[in-house]
Amino acid sequence: MTEPIFQGVATALITPFKDGKVDYDAFGKFVDWQIESGVDALVVCGTTGEGSTLTDEEHRECIKFVVEHTDGRVPVIAGTGSNDTAYAIDLSKAACEMGADALLVVTPYYNKATQAGLVETFTKIAEVSTKPIILYNVPSRTGVNIAPSTYEALMSNDKIAGIKEANGDVVSVIDTLHRIGDNMSLYSGNDDQITAIMSLGGKGVISVLSNVIPKETSEIAHAALNGDFKKSAELQIKYFDLIKALFSEVNPIPVKAACAHLGWCENSLRLPLTPMSKEKEEVLVSVMKQHGVI
């Protein structure tokens, strides 16, 4: 049985920008608020953190900053995946040396590797990692899906400890859980499926929603962890409209707008991402007001 890296909620952190550069002052305050609000872990330089448009130097600096600023208060999981396996290996080694508690490794995007290619890629990264790895499956963004049989092929690797599953297919989740047993922890990668996946045995969520309502997202996950699926489901349904608004345009466009309205950062993104359309931003703000977020 593999011990979970965390149970509950890991926030997939936004990366605040100011004048085109990472705003570390805002970043530190945002990290503090997240931890004080009760999240169980933090993910830095993931999809929500715009890791794909950070320079190599920025990527490493952000990981180092969040590790040092968090100072052991919660686990820090560093996004180190790439479509270039050699680069992912190098970045993974660096993140381990900087003190990250775990790595989040996305499937190679654009290349569209075969399942055999995925097994070899994840195995090569695991060979150099001194920390546990969470595999990140998000076929809507990468163009490739990790098959349940591939998870099964990797589950004996003691460095591969978890799965962030964002393929949206609950049947596939059931198949995966049937195959892996207690050998890996499975986390929801979709905020609209926290209760559903945790009711099947998932350990929590790697969340976009918790950037905006960390305390309430934690309540959804921890109710499920405590076996109170009725409460978890009620909260999941309560915040469905907010989740929907946060994904009304490609992530992290809406969540960056939401965090800007909350005063945590500027509404600044890296191209090719652009700020949210006025019409959809008005809907997002309206929903946030309805829930008393602003």
pLDDT tens profile 53-102: 999 999 999 999 999 999 999 999 999 999 999 999 999 999 999 999 99
Per-residue burial over 44-65, b if 16 or more Cβ lie within 10 Å, else e, is bbbbbbbbbebeeebbbbbbbb
Q: Which among 64, 131, 159, 164 is annotated as catalytic?
A: 164
Mean pLDDT taken over the chain? 97
Residue 94 tokens, joined: 């660096």
Considering the entire predicted model, what is its pTM? 0.97
Note whether 165 and 189 are within 8 A (CB): yes
User: Does position 164 have pLDDT exceeding 90, yes or no?
Assistant: yes
Note whether 227 and 221 are within 8 A (CB): no
User: Does position 238 have pLDDT exceeding 70, yes or no?
Assistant: yes
pLDDT tens profile 23-64: 999 999 999 999 999 999 999 999 999 999 999 999 999 999
Contacts 24+ apart (CB under 8 A), 253-260: 254/280, 254/281, 254/284, 255/14, 255/48, 255/208, 255/211, 255/212, 256/14, 257/281, 257/284, 258/211, 258/212, 258/284, 258/288, 258/293, 259/14, 259/16, 259/30, 259/211, 259/212
Percent of the chain predicted with pLDDT > 70: 100
Q: Which among 64, 131, 136, 256 is annotated as catalytic?
A: 136
Residue 248 tokens, joined: 């009304």
Q: What ranges make up the beta strands (E) of the chain?
A: 8-12, 17-18, 21-22, 41-44, 76-79, 102-106, 133-137, 160-165, 185-188, 204-207
User: Does position 2 have pLDDT exceeding 90, yes or no?
Assistant: no
User: Does position 271 have pLDDT exceeding 80, yes or no?
Assistant: yes
User: Does position 180 have pLDDT exceeding 90, yes or no?
Assistant: yes
- Overall average pLDDT of the 256-278 stretch: 98
pLDDT at 112: 93
pLDDT at 1: 66
Rg (CA), the chain: 18
User: How distant is the alpha carbon of residue 58 from its chain centre?
Assistant: 19
User: Does position 174 have pLDDT exceeding 70, yes or no?
Assistant: yes
What is the DSSP pairing of strand 8-12 with strand 41-44?
Answer: parallel
User: Does position 185 have pLDDT exceeding 90, yes or no?
Assistant: yes
Residue 18 among the catalytic residues: no
- Overall average pLDDT of the 127-135 stretch: 98
Residue 24 among the catalytic residues: no
